[in-house]
Amino acid sequence: MEAAREFLLKRLRQIGLHEVRLLDGGGEPAVYGEWMGAPGKPTLLVYGHYDVQPADPLERWHTPPFEPVEIGDRLYGRGTSDVKASTTIALEAVAAYLAVEAACPVNIKVFLEGEEETGSPSLRAIVARHGTLLQADAVLSADGGRASATLPTINVGARGNAQLEVRLQSAHKDLHSGRYGGGVRNALHEMARLVASLHDQDGNVAVKGFNAGAEPLSASQRADTASFAYDEQAFFSSVGAASHGEAGYTARERITLRPALDVNGLWGGYTGPGGKTIVPCEAFAKMTARVVAGQDPGDVIRAVLGHLRSRCPADCTLDVVALHEGSPASTLDPSHPLVQSAGSVLQRECGRAPIHVRLGASVPVTALFKETLGIDTLMFGFNLPDEDVHAPNEFFRLSSIDAGLRGWVLLLATLAEQPRERFHAGGRAAAKASQV
């Protein structure tokens, strides 16, 4: 981590950025540098991260994980795809402008996080301490790669999330099933009944208010989703599962554009080897909700809690062990200057209009920038889904470096033509709404 920071501090100074320094928030500091020589032009916060996942299991690597090794079109090494190559591409595009034209078409603030892989524990503190320094019109993220090597895509949003863990108690202590069995409630039976009531047998969420606020799918969202060709059969059969869920939506719509509720863990009683003749007195369940645009993650998870409480028998107690509101869904409108600029760059580079795709997963850093700085994020990374991130033999395609550098150089030039106020249309209001 220290070597990576030193390398970045040196390189940012070398390419001509100013105010190069570490931003501390109590954990691994972020690396910062800026070039503010384009008065009146938009200011873009370039986001990347310099931390990586552990390299183990080391015996599965064919090359040393912390030595870059080129084999054919691939550069192997831990962090190559996630996300050092895409971060380097962004920095070197800025470096090229400063070296060749002695100026960049937009103002740049580079912000490289050191805790992305550990859930960004001090990112909020860093942004709170250095909020003034980080003021910008939008974020360009080197993280969040391409969905396909052949089909240009723009990521226009991600689902948000919220978590709940509950404990159900039916007696003061575990009871002998010979002395009490058949005469008292069993905490596991009651918890199983509660959990089973969350969905109907077709997979529709049966919690009143769970879908509240969810914006109906627009015709263009449905068309975008349908135009991203993928093999649904292979998608499910590759993990040994079958398509199942809310009626009236395609599988891809269900996993990116509709809310979802999943029990992640369910336990209690005796689960060790052999048997134990008890009536267990307590049971636990962990669950997460994925929320979509228009929804408040706190309201959604409290609707789930209300559902469980209203069905919990009066002679049992249901306690909240943990409730995390998580982050709301993020959405970039198709008319947003980030989407339009990236669209024209990809159209020019790929010879066809990019498809707008959404992530089913959540990107907390995007939500945090929206909430704290009031600005939107465009993901413009160049890694591809098959590059074994977080796994042994991680690699990045060398051919993506060319595509990435061309893309970033064009993107910065295109964004320079956008009036600054266009980046904030609706942005502040949306940021405010997400805090309510």
First to last CA, the chain: 37
Question: Whole-number minimum distance, CB 390 to Zn ion, in Å?
Answer: 6
Nearer residue to Zn ion within complex by CB, 48 or 354: 48
CA 205 to chain centroid: 23
Give whichever of 44 and 363 is closer to Zn ion, judged by the CB atom: 363
d(CA 147, CA 355): 10
- How many CB atoms within 10 Å of residue 94? 24
Residue 86 or 330: which CB sits closer to Zn ion? 86
Please tell me whether residue 143 binds Zn ion under the rule CB under 5 A: no
The answer to whether the CB of 335 falls within 8 A of the CB of 408 is no
DSSP strand pairing (317-327 vs 278-279): unpaired
User: CA-CA distance, 400 to 350, in Å (whole number)?
Assistant: 13
Specify the stretch interacting with Zn ion by CB under 5 A; choose among 77-85, 171-179, 312-320, 341-349. 77-85
Give the whole-angstrom CA distance, residue 114 versus residue 2: 10
Got the DSSP string for 121-165?
Answer: TTHHHHHHHTTTTT--SEEEES-S--S-SSS-EEEEEE-EEEEEE
d(CA 223, CA 238): 25
Helix (H, G, I), strand (E, B) or coil at 363: coil
SS3 state at 31? strand
Q: Which helix (H) or strand (E) holds 129?
A: helix 123-129
CB of 406 to Zn ion, least distance (A): 25
Compute the chain's Rg from CA coordinates: 25
Minimum gap (Å) between residue 48 Cβ and Zn ion: 12
From 76-84, 259-267, 279-287, 404-412, span contacting Zn ion (CB under 5 A): 76-84
The region of 38-46, 63-71, 75-83, 308-316 touching Zn ion under the rule CB under 5 A is 75-83
CB of 53 to Zn ion, least distance (A): 6
Query: Which residue do the tokens 């093999």 mark?
Result: 231
Report d(CA 222, CA 428) in Å as an integer: 27
Stretch of 78-86, 199-207, 268-276, 402-410 contacting Zn ion, by CB under 5 A: 78-86
The CB-of-129 to Zn ion minimum distance in angstroms stands at 25
CB of 27 to Zn ion, least distance (A): 17
Q: In this chain, which of 28, 34, 82, 376 binds Zn ion, going by CB under 5 A?
A: 82
What's the min distance (Å) between Cβ of 64 and Zn ion? 20
Name the one range near Zn ion by CB under 5 A: 79-87, 225-233, 320-328, 357-365: 79-87
Question: Which of these segments, 28-36, 40-48, 80-88, 322-330, binds Zn ion (CB under 5 A)?
Answer: 80-88
- What six digits make up the tokens of 382? 């160049």
DSSP code of residue 295: -
Q: How many residues bind Zn ion (CB under 5 A)?
A: 1
Q: Kindly identify the residues of this chain, within the stretch 342-381, that bind Zn ion according to CB under 5 A.
A: none
Comparing CB distances to Zn ion, the nearer of 82 and 190 is 82
Which C-beta is closer to Zn ion: that of 137 or that of 387?
A: 387
User: How many CB atoms are located within 10 Å of the residue 130 CB?
Assistant: 17
Interaction residues for Zn ion, span 232-261 (CB under 5 A): none
Smallest separation (angstroms) from Zn ion to the CB of 116: 7
Of 7-15, 21-29, 30-38, 82-90: span binding Zn ion (CB under 5 A): 82-90
DSSP 114: S
Q: Is 292 in contact with 259 (CB distance < 8 Å)?
A: yes
Give the nearest distance from C-beta 82 to Zn ion in angstroms: 4
Minimum CB distance to Zn ion smaller for 82 or for 387: 82
Q: Which is nearer to Zn ion, 82 or 115 (CB)?
A: 82
CB under 8 Å to 389, separation ≥6 — which residues? 53, 81, 82, 383
For Zn ion, the closer of residues 82 and 224 by Cβ is 82
Q: How far is the CB of 427 from Zn ion (least distance, A)?
A: 27
Cβ–Cβ contacts within 10 Å for residue 407, how many? 24
Contacts with Zn ion, residue ranges (CB under 5 A): 82
